[in-house]
Structure 1
């Protein structure tokens, strides 16, 4: 049984619950998403395996999953990067946000998502149970493609990219 950490709107731990039960009932739980860049500044995106329990076949960030009880977001991200795409890196915390989305298979993602980032030029070694493809993309081109083809991308990844775009605009204006 795979469990998720239940949290409140302040990201305070309330307990644990079976992952599928949390997704079937739309209960707020902790998650993480990792953004991986190469030394050229391109972002690594992955295409989720088509038979994933939700959002199969969609493009998304390099890695995402759920922390285990007692595990920091950084530890969880390092573990899952290795398991999903075979990269050994040390992700660093960027920011966190809450999102809720109705997904396929009658599931609801209601997550307090911790977003982390790292830079590496390691070649991904894909776990076919998790990932069916990957590519490195220019971030501006990616944002344009998300606007033109939103149905090709996961809900949370679109939210992350929107947040990043807002942050980049603020940095340009300051």
Structure 2
């Protein structure tokens, strides 16, 4: 099945639709999201992307990432992907947005208007092995240490997200 994603301009205004792999080969700006999940101890959930992913396989990243499909609302899409990737649901709230472009492995280009969403969760996690081959709860200071010491083991968007997160004040349960 062809997955049609939402093309946007630099201000996140919808401009049309295109096929997912075409978008990533051509580096066209599209709408995306990253989900940050904290537990009650203040640790962040990280997933290790499946090595079989079409790009950034085997790298550590935030709990869930994805793209709304054509005609799909952002929040609905985020809930769908969190359930598909990590096997759970929780309340998600918008935190901030950013635009980035990055050249990735397999000749892919991410050019995304990224919506960062936040949630809290303490229950069981059941990742889809086609999406995530591992996961862990990590104290945020340890994540920053890891990025400073070896940023190559993390996805590029997660490194950008964590750097932008330093500038935001929020509560994991707010």
Q: Same fold (TM over 0.5)?
A: yes
2:43 match = 42
1:74 match = 75
Alpha-carbon offset, residue 4 of structure 1: 1.1
Alpha-carbon offset, residue 160 of structure 1: 0.4
Query: Is the counterpart of residue 118 in structure 1 residue 119 in structure 2?
Result: yes
Distance 2:144 2:124 in 1: 23
2:60 match = 59
1:13 match = 14
Q: Deviations over 1:66-110 (max 9, x none)?
A: 012332222111111100000111211111110000000001000
CA contact (8 A) 2:7 2:15 kept: yes
2:147 match = 146
Q: What secondary structure sits across from 2:10 in the alignment?
A: coil
Q: What secondary structure sits across from 2:146 in the alignment?
A: helix
1:171 match = none
Q: What secondary structure sits across from 1:166 in the alignment?
A: coil
CA contact (8 A) 1:74 1:90 kept: no
Distance 1:154 1:104 in 2: 11
Name structure 1 gaps, 5 residues minimum.
169-174
Q: Deviations over 1:5-35 (max 9, x none)?
A: 0000110001100000000000000000000
Q: Deviations over 1:32-82 (max 9, x none)?
A: 000000011100000000010000000000000101233222211111110
Normalised to the residue count of structure 1, the TM-score between the two structures is 0.94
Distance 1:130 1:141 in 2: 24
Normalised to the residue count of structure 2, the TM-score between the two structures is 0.94
Distance 1:108 1:69 in 2: 20
| C-alpha RMSD of the superposition | 0.9
Distance 2:64 2:42 in 1: 17
2:102 match = 101
